[in-house]
Structure 1
Amino acid sequence: MKDLDAAGLDCLAALADERSFERAAETLAITQSAVSQRLRSLEAQVGQLLVVRSRPLRLTEPGKRLLRYARQLHALRSDVVRELGVRASTPERLPIAVNADSLATWVLPALDPLVQRGLREGFGLELVVDDQDFTHDWLRQGEVLGCVTTVRQALRGCVALPLGVMRYVAVASPAFVQRELPGGLVASAIAQVPFLVFNRKDDTQQQWVRQALGLRAARLNARYVPSSEAYVQAVTRGWGVGVAPELQIRPLLMRGDLVALRPDIHVDVALYWHQWKLGADGDAAQGSPPSLLDQIGEALALGAREALQV
């Protein structure tokens, strides 16, 4: 097979990002006809259908595999431009996936110096948010170049780095405890107690109940609040019991705005950073500077060491 067409790969990445030919054309500053033509040319080159023309469109499995290559090519292009000291005409975006609780607590401070530098040098990050048990799927499908995840084992072609442990504790507002839990939280009444849950992927509350009360698959009176910041606000307002990152609610506990339920019980979630390997082995040993993706991993590892449990 001849070298894959770079313009076609750019179109594939834009289609994956925008999920429509019209928006992909706007992103690339070309016509929709040109997007379709470049995609058809790439599909003819590999002999496989890469995109299902639906609304929204979706990538086929071969398309996802090729998208991984396109993302890596973009990252390598960013590194080359940076090493040459040239500012790219179109800033490159390096997509990574993180979980919402990490984003609300330690990720932004960890990445801030790198992002500030990117504003000057013409590159940027794109943050994709999902549950920590599912960010790894974004990496596997080629949508992102790296992810913060609970998965320990690295994919083939990737490296994995342990970050630390995010500790979750059960809390409620003092007024809620007085009104709803005068006798404490007991197993026999668990179905009547409102529990705040981030979304339907979130099982942190079930894990806490299992540890605290010995109940497996308890029926919880779930109330969904799909935002880390709003979740903590809802707990503070007395909407229900929350199981939240200790890092995030520590000031509220110290002020007495929240009280811990069973402080001896906590759910520890181990986090890892995964990223694709880019470039030839040994580049760093030959004096090449770390890739931007490596720098993102290093920044996250440093921020995690300062914020998370060991």
Structure 2
Amino acid sequence: MKDLDSAGLDCLAALADERGFERAAQRLAITQSAVSQRLRSLEAQVGQLLVVRSRPLRLTEPGKVLLRFARQLQALRTDVARELGTRVAPHERIAIAVNADSLATWVLPALDPLVQAGLQEGFGLELIVDDQDFTHDWLRQGEVLGCVSTVKLALRGCLVRPLGLMRYIAVASPTFLRERLPQGLTAANFAQAPFLVFNRKDDDQVQWVSKAFGVKAPRLQERYVPSSEARVRAVCMGWGIGVVPELQVRSLLRSGELVALRPELSVDVTLYWHQWKLGSELVSAPLRVALLDQIGQALASGAQRALGPAEGSDAAGPGGKAKRRSA
């Protein structure tokens, strides 16, 4: 295969991000017809359909393969621009996927020094949020270059490193406990107590109840609050019980605004950092550490400071997901 057209790859990445030709054109500062022309040229070059023209549009499997390459090429261009002291093209960015609870607790402090240092260089950073069991799918599909995930096993062409344990505990407000659960949470009443859930992918509360009362696949009364910060706020307001990161509610527990239920019991989630190998060793060197590597190092250092050590991270369940277990 001849060298792939970089302008066509940029269009493919913009289409994947914007899910439409008009917004992709606006992002690249070209016309919609130019986007269509470059995409058709790239499809002709590889001899395969790359984009299904639906609303919203979606990438075919060959399109996802080329998207991974496009992301990596953009990251390499960013590294070269930083080394040469030139500004990065405004449409180029490093995209990584993180889980909402990590974003609400330790990820921003971990990345802050790197982002502050990069303000003058103008590199773009995009944080995509999904459940920690699903961020790995974004990496596999080429949507991001790195992710924080519970998956232990690395994809071919990727690096993986353990970050640490995020400890989840069950908490409620004193008022809620006094008015709704004067006898405490028990095997007899947990099904009538509302639990606050992030979204339908979130099963931390099911895991906690199963461990607490020895019930397989418990049926719970659930109230969905799709924000880590808002969910904790809702727990403080007495909406129900939350199974949340201990790191996130540590100060609220100390102040007495929240109370831990069965504090000896937790659901521990082992987190890993995955990233694509960009082949930066192929660039005329020595370049400083590639930006994606710097992001991975910053997250690893931040996780080490904020989280528990990844003890037992050598144990992985089906599909390479780290097992969750009580403390």
TM-score (norm 1): 0.97
Conserved in 1, the CA contact under 8 Å of 2:5 and 2:42? yes
Residue 75 in 1 paired to residue 75 in 2?
yes
Judge conservation of contact 1:164–1:304 (CA < 8 Å) in 2: yes
More deviation, 91-100/222-231: 91-100
The answer to whether the 8 Å contact 2:51/2:63 transfers is yes
AA matched with 1:216: K
Deviations 1:32-72 (A, max 9, x none): 00000000000010010000000000001110110000000
Q: CA deviation at 1:300?
A: 0.3
Runs of 4+ in structure 1 deviating by more than 3 angstroms, as ranges, are 280-284
Q: Which residue of 2 aligns with 1:249?
A: 249
Counterpart of 1:288?
287
Q: Distance in 1 between matches of 2:174 and 2:219?
A: 24
Give, as a single letter, the amino acid of the residue that structure 1 aligns with 2:295.
Answer: I
How far apart in 2 are the matches of 1:109 and 1:172? 27
Going from structure 1 to structure 2, the CA distance change for 1:50 and 1:202 (only over 3 Å counts) comes to: same
Gaps of 5+ in 1: none
- Map 1:234-245 to 2 at 5 A: 234-245=234-245
Matched to 2:307, the amino acid is L
Matched, 1:12 2:8: no
The 1-side partners of 2:213 and 2:239 are apart by 21
Q: Counterpart of 1:128 in 2: which secondary structure?
A: strand
Deviation per residue, 1:199-232 (Å, 9 max, x gap)? 0000000110011111111110000000000000
CA contact (8 A) 1:91 1:123 kept: no
* CA shift digits 1:168-208 (9 cap, x unpaired): 00000000011111111111222211011110000000110
**1:275-307 CA distances to partner (integer Å, 9 max, x unpaired)?**
0001255879x7432100000000000100100
Kept in 1: contact 2:27–2:91 (CA 8 A): no
**Match of residue 109 from structure 1:** 109
Considering only aligned residues, what root-mean-square deviation do their CA atoms show, in Å?
1.3
**Take 1:219 and 1:156, find their aligned partners in 2: how far apart are those partners?**
38
Find out whether 1:221 has 2:221 as its counterpart: yes
Give yes or no for contact 1:91–1:122 (8 Å, CA) kept in 2.
no
Q: 1:216 to 1:258 in 2, by over 3 A?
A: same
**d(CA) in 2 for partners of 1:48, 1:89:** 28
Tell me the distance in 2 between the aligned counterparts of 1:149 and 1:278.
19
Give, in whole Å, the separation in 2 of the partners of 1:14 and 1:309. Answer: 38
Cα distance in 1 between the residues matched to 2:237 and 2:224: 14
Report whether the alignment pairs 1:86 with 2:86: yes
Q: Verify the 8 A CA contact 2:90 2:124 in the aligned structure 1.
A: no
Please tell me whether the aligned partners of residues 65 and 142 of structure 1 are also in contact (alpha carbons under 8 angstroms): yes
Q: In structure 1, what is the equivalent of residue 307 of structure 2?
A: 308
Q: Distance in 2 between matches of 1:142 and 1:41?
A: 21
Name 1:140's counterpart in structure 2.
140
Question: Residue type matched to 2:306 in 1?
Answer: A
Alignment match, 1:130: 130
1:90 CA drift (Å): 2.6
Q: Give, as a single letter, the amino acid of the residue that structure 1 aligns with 2:223.
A: R
* Equivalent position SS for 1:148: strand
Q: What is the number of equivalent residue pairs in this alignment?
A: 309
1:28 equivalent in structure 2: 28
How many angstroms apart in 1 are the aligned matches of 2:295 and 2:73? 17
Partner of 1:263: 263
Quick one: which amino acid aligns to residue 250 of structure 1?
R
In 2: Cα distance, 1:89 partner to 1:245 partner: 38
SS in 1 for 2:119: helix
Alpha-carbon contact 2:167-2:268 (below 8 Å) kept: yes
**Aligned mates of 1:250, 1:90 — CA distance in 2:** 39
Report how far residue 91 of structure 1 moved. Answer: 5.8
